[in-house]
Chain A
Amino acid sequence: MSQRARSLLIFMLSLAVTYPAAARPLDRSKPPSAGPPAKLDLPAIQKLVLSNGIRVLFIERHKVPLVQVAVVVRAGAAADPRGKAGLANLTAEMLDRGAGGRSALELSDAVDHLGADLSAGAGWDQTLVGLNVPAQRLAEALPILADVVRRPAFPAEELERVRKELLTELLQWRDEPRALIRVAFARALYGEDPYGRVTEGSEQAVRGMTRADLQGFHASYFEPGNVTLVAAGDVTAQVLQGKLEEAFGSWSGSTVRPAPVPASLQPRGRSVWLVDLPEAAQSEIRIGRVGPPRQTPDYFPLVVANTLLGGSFTSRLNQNLREQHGYTYGAGSVFDFRLSTGPFFAAAAVQTDKTAPALSEFFKELEGIRRPVPEDELARARNYVALRYPAGFETVGELAAKLEEKVLFELPDDYFTTYMDRVAKVTAADLARVTAQWIDPGSVVVVVVGDRKKIEAGIKALNLGPVKLLTADDILGRPGPKSRVQSPK
């Protein structure tokens, strides 16, 4: 805090010198100091309730004639039944392929003609159906949003179309190092636990999905008691409430919350999965373990710790692997926070002949972050996270996304306004505590996707742990029978 007061004083002095200046030669030897940082001046979050009890969170913003509305359904891929991995995703993909008496093409034509953008997608813990629309077209667009959320028809012919599209996408993952490592890393870390899948599921599960499965998922979870609406933009609360009431107020039904995902166990020791991608110019690397749920009391220390380790350009991983060694275009790390224990991982794509040295540097930094952190480095990470925070409330899409986060993780009402202060209070002792608990390089899975014949010996020589050799088929399954992917003759 004394630091802030001092910089304020310097700022006032520099203003006094600056204004009449010009004649004197400019002193460039020191960077100019900043004034006091701005507080987050967020318009109030308005809370509305529809007649059937659906809650609405709304931020009014009249700068640009756009409105964003999102339907947050509290059920996502974590609710996929065993053997039906990808059901939430496929259900979301199918919502706008026929609904409320209109066909897929008719819905698309209506949305495009309004200049609107309608999207649906399943995450781990939620399905989001979002609408971005010019304000003067909101009244015409909302009934379409309500139709796709409340009255999807899941036409059999459209399901076959979407299935084929999805199966082709899964086939294309064999070409994409980043897709391969995403699937391999989830499996290596979580095994048969729910987070051991990816939200898109698997080829086998997608082939087996039926129209009844989709109808069942929709009937179970797309219920008013499971839904919150969020909105932001160029409309008044009164007008919005009226239009939402027309679109969603008559919706009734019971509530079935999906079962929570149990916490996963940490990896025992270290192990390596090497997935062969012959002729790859780079090796994709992911090193990680299980992280805490989003609601952890250590959220803010973890965000600051990760910023310092791999969450910013000046972070240790990026400085080491990119700026110091030139092994990669960029290296970083992330806590992928979910309702349950999502992963933490460090990652980069490194040139093939530097795979083993790069892995060594990763481990140096994962060890290093557990040692006491210099105060100036900690201050930079705190400032980076806190001071740019207000800039993230610029667009209606960003405002709605913040409200979605609040709904999903049940964040308190003062969450946004106290965010900067809570980041500023993170201490070196907090960092030591959370990194000791959550970043243990002795208990990680290491996944590498690259050209095995060029990198296997180097990786084995590092003695990181047992090395399992795999192929793309091991990760994605053998490609299915051709006839089932081809179009009907």
Chain B
Amino acid sequence: MRSSHRLLAWVFVEAGLLLAAGGAFGQEARKLEVPYTQFSLPNGLNVILHEDHTVPMVCVDVWYYVGSAREKPGRTGFAHLFEHIMFEGSKNVKEGEFDRLLESAGGDNNGSTAEDRTDYWQNVPSNSLELALFLESDRMGHLLDVMSPARVNQQRDVVKNERRQTFENQPYGMASIKLSEALFSPNHPYHWPVIGSMEDLSAAGYEDVVQFFKTYYGPNNASLVVAGDIDPRQARRLVEKWFADVPKGTRVDPIAAPPAALAEEKRLTLEDRVQLPRLYMAWITPPHLQPGDEALDILAGVLASGKNSRLYKRLVYELQVAQDVSAVQQSQMLASTFLITATAREGHGLTEIESLIQQEIDRVKTAPPAAREVERAVNQFEASFYRAMEHVGGFGGKADQLNAYQYQAGRPDYYNEDRARYLALDTSDILSAARRYLPDDARVILSVVPAGKTDLAARAPSEKGKQP
């Protein structure tokens, strides 16, 4: 449901040339390109076309520039509930027909909602491209003609079960909700979770659907990618045919959000039905593509990617006090979150875990990492770019990535600039990022402990003497 769309896909224009280039990672920047064409329809819909004939499949991918960050008080979770409703039929597609028509054609589809955007994709055999465009354009242009309170009620129940399955009935499932609440102030749109609260989901109604659609689901607030086994000239004609009659929507102003900042260290404890305590340490960090974002990606790798990373080696491999440890820069448009997570082994509490992690944070703020540590992280990162390049459709496929760049960087082919951010880093940048963005006095420390065992929670150094 929430996906960060970090990695981007590249297509080599001429694979043979690149093979000839060879060479080690990080030593040279090979010229990479995604050939695409882009145009706009009079109703404001941005369209991007990309050819890839590896398999006879086409992806139709739409991003709407709205997510949970646009929700009103008392209606948290609505952007995601709305996403579910988009699959329930439109004026010329009877309820249930969206999926039946696609499956009859051998197609698949899905959608996801995040804080900043909502995406939808259909993967279809290339002979059914026009069917996918018909379905996508009908719900973009003609959703409300058949909307009813019954449809809202039905998906409300499904979404509540999604919340139960993904959060309430998952060990540690409520942690991400608690973290967002603590990191971001109540007037910041990242304060509430994408899934929303049960109360707000209950309160959402038919009128909300009408308003939300009219406000945010116009073609001028969306971008369409058609990628895969296409003839671009024919694809353009078909896009024009099916989307030209979609009426333009109202203008959507840029989101107004207060600056995200923490003024102190906050400590929270959550009891859960778990065997082992888990520690979360979170910081607010620079938004996606802003200076510092890329160094924090690599810092996360230095800290917790692979057996030789600092936190894994110390906590899991050498001392064996933790079952797992991870570090990630979760990049988003208004503000990112840098998150370190570690699960304690039996017999170990989170005060001990925190103190060990803190030692490693102090160390990474004291001296730059070794060149080998940074190379490992950069090489892994670069290889994952190749892997992402293999898929055209679905979440994280090339179609989705072209739309991500279009939204986040203003054009679909930002990948060379994006990659250059990583190749330009040296070890001192990692040191600076750790010093600047991981302060000890502005962060959230969340302990999730087994019910009744709050003594396992991480205590601040000043509190430690107070406990027996």
CB distance from A200 to the nearest CB of B (A): 15
Hey, which chain B residues are within 8 Å of A383, CB to CB? 103-106
CB-CB contacts of B121-154 with A at 8 A, as 1s and 0s? 0010111101100110010001000000000001
A11 surroundings in chain B (CB, below 8 A):
127
On whether the beta carbons of A487 and B127 are closer than 8 Å, the reply is no
Q: Mark B343-386, 1 if CB is under 8 A from A, else 0.
A: 00111000000000000000000000000100110011011001
Query: Is B56's beta carbon under 8 Å from chain A?
Result: yes
Please determine whether A313 and B127 come into contact, CB atoms closer than 8 angstroms: no
In the bound complex, residues from chain B placing their C-beta under 8 Å from that of A33 are 131
A326 to B273, CA, bound (A): 26
> CB of B339 within 8 A of chain A?
no
A60 to nearest B CB, angstroms? 12
Residues of A within 8 A of B128 (CB): 34
In the bound complex, do residue A350 and residue B161 qualify as a contact, i.e. CB atoms below 8 Å apart?
A: yes
- Shortest B230–chain A CB gap in Å is 13
- Tell yes or no: A349 within 8 A of B by CB: yes
B145 → A minimal CB distance (Å): 11
**In the complex, A152→B328 CA distance in Å?**
32
The answer to the question of B453 belonging to the interface, with a C-beta cut-off of 8 Å to chain A, is no
- Give, as a whole number of angstroms, the nearest-CB distance from B441 to chain A: 32
- CB atoms of B308 and A65 under 8 A apart: no
With A387-B106, A394-B55, A486-B345 as contacts: A112 and B308 at CB distance below 8 Å: yes
Closest partner residue, chain A, to B52 (CB atom):
A63
Query: Residues of A contacting B245 with CB < 8 Å?
Result: 25-26
Shortest beta-carbon distance from A1 to chain B in Å: 16
Q: Say yes or no: is A485 at the interface (Cβ < 8 Å to chain B).
A: yes
Q: Which residues of A contact B383 (CB under 8 A)?
A: 115-117, 133-134
Does B275 sit within 8 A of A, measured CB to CB?
yes
Which residues does chain A contribute within 8 Å of B93, judged by CB atoms?
31
Number of B residues with CB within 8 Å of any CB on chain A? 91
Of A16-24, A208-216, A222-230, A367-375, the one with at least 4 CB within 8 A of chain B: A16-24
Q: Which A-chain residue is minimally distant from B393 (CB atoms)? A: A391
Known: A282-B165, A395-B390. A388 touches B125 (CB 8 A): yes
Known: A63-B54, A105-B308. A112 touches B380 (CB 8 A): yes
Report whether B162 and A329 are in contact in the complex, using a CB–CB cutoff of 8 Å: yes
Number of A-B contacts (CB under 8 A): 245
Q: Contacts A115-B383, A314-B96 hold; do A64 and B390 have CB atoms under 8 A apart?
A: yes
| A443 CB-CB contact with B under 8 Å | no
**Cross-chain contact of B392 among A65, A108, A350, A394 (Cβ < 8 A):** A394
Asked if B380 and A115 sit within 8 Å, CB to CB, the answer is yes
Of residues B92, B375, B390, which shows the largest number of chain A Cβ atoms within 10 Å of its Cβ? B390
Q: Is A351 an interface residue (CB 8 A)?
A: yes
Q: B437 in the interface, Cβ–Cβ < 8 Å?
A: no
In the complex, whether B2 has a CB less than 8 A from a CB of chain A is no
CB nearest to A14 among chain B residues: B130
Cα–Cα, bound, A41→B55 (Å): 8
B276 touches A109 (CB 8 A): no
- Is residue B158 within 8 Å, beta carbon to beta carbon, of the partner chain? yes
- B239 CB, nearest partner CB in chain A, Å: 12
Q: Does the CB pair B127–A36 fall under 8 Å?
A: yes
Cα distance, A22 to B91, chains bound together (Å): 21
Contact of A112 with B376 at beta-carbon distance under 8 Å, contacts A281-B168, A282-B164, A395-B391 already known: yes
Among A105, A329, A396, A487, chain B packs the most CB atoms within 10 A around the CB of A329
Interface stretch of the complex, out of A166-174, A242-250, A251-259, A260-268 = A166-174
Across chains A and B, which 4 residue pairs bring their CB atoms closest together, nearest first?
Answer: A387-B106, A326-B157, A115-B383, A38-B56
**18 A-B contact pairs sorted by A residue (CB < 8 Å):** A28-B91, A31-B101, A31-B131, A66-B386, A108-B306, A112-B379, A114-B379, A115-B380, A171-B275, A172-B171, A314-B96, A322-B161, A323-B96, A326-B157, A329-B161, A390-B56, A391-B123, A394-B57
Could you list which residues of chain B lie within 8 angstroms of chain A, going by C-beta atoms? 12, 15-16, 18-19, 22-23, 25, 54-57, 91-93, 96, 99-101, 103-108, 123, 125-128, 130-131, 134-135, 138, 142, 154-158, 160-162, 164-166, 168-171, 229, 237-238, 240-242, 244-245, 273-276, 305-308, 313, 316-317, 319-321, 323, 345-347, 372, 375-376, 379-380, 382-383, 386-387, 389-393
Which A residues have a C-beta under 8 Å from some C-beta of B?
Answer: 11, 14, 18-19, 21-22, 25-26, 28-29, 31-38, 41, 62-66, 104-105, 108-109, 112-117, 132-136, 161, 164-165, 168-169, 171-172, 174-177, 234, 278-282, 312-314, 319, 322-323, 325-329, 349-351, 379-381, 383-384, 386-391, 393-397, 482, 485-487
